[in-house]
Amino acid sequence: MRLGEIVQLLVADIKVHEGIPYFDISRGEGEDKQLKTASSRRDVPVHPTLIELGLLDHVEKRRASAPKGRIFPDIKPGADGYFSAQYSKWFSRYVIAVKVKTPKTSFHSFRHNFKDALVMAGVEESRRRALMGHSDDSVHGQYGSKLPIPVLFEAISKINYPQIDLPSLCKAP
């Protein structure tokens, strides 16, 4: 997901279909949410690793205390009105603190790495596009229905990063 999509998530944006939790990436009226493009509107299953790391537990705690609130309420919009502005700056400081900063490192690097991981896992292009919120402007891409959550969950579950100790990275420096 794009940084802007993540930081503006509401607890109501985490839904369940056929037992599979997913992010409903959308722009609701009166919710001060923005999407980059029309194709950004999509459903993205929650990766099993995020569940293991406690994301759904966090969402349930937030839902209990603020049923209409944001998943990450500490992230406030910047002067430009975007919720990603302040977090982007924090993330830049964080990658320096954990000593993983390179000239090409940014939060957007996650999207590049995710796309590469989908390709390496053999995930078909239409599923990659659906997960990433990319459109297919070809005539062929204009036909067919939205891919079902179980199909997208199968695709996203193929992704893992065994060389990265995610629990350690998730701890604040």
DSSP state for residue 95 in the 8-state scheme = H
Q: Are 9 and 22 in contact (CB under 8 A)?
A: no
Q: How confident is the model at residue 136 (pLDDT cuts 50, 70, 90)?
A: low
d(CA 152, CA 123): 10
Q: What is the pLDDT of residue 3?
A: 84
The answer to pTM > 0.85 is no
- Position of tokens 């990265």? 164
pLDDT digits (tens, 9 = 90+) for 97-110: 988 888 777 777 78
Angle at 19 between CA 57 and CA 5, to 5 degrees: 60
What are 30-58's pLDDT values in tens digits? 566 666 655 567 889 999 989 988 999 99
Residue 143 has pLDDT above 60, yes or no: no
The two structure tokens encoding residue 120: 């390496």
Q: Report the amino acid identity of residue 50.
A: L
DSSP 23: E
Distance, first Cα to last Cα, the chain: 24
Q: What is the pLDDT of residue 167?
A: 66
Q: What is the mean pLDDT of the chain?
A: 82
Residue written as token pair 């239409």:
126
What pLDDT shows up at residue 98? 84
Enclosing H/E stretch for 19: none
Q: What Cα–Cα distance (Å) separates residue 121 from each residue in 46, 48, 155?
A: 17, 16, 9
Does 18 score more than 80 pLDDT? yes
**Distance, CA of 18 to CA of 6 (rounded, Å):** 23
Q: Is the pLDDT of residue 80 over 60?
A: yes
Q: Residue ranges of the domains in the chain?
A: 3-74+103-169
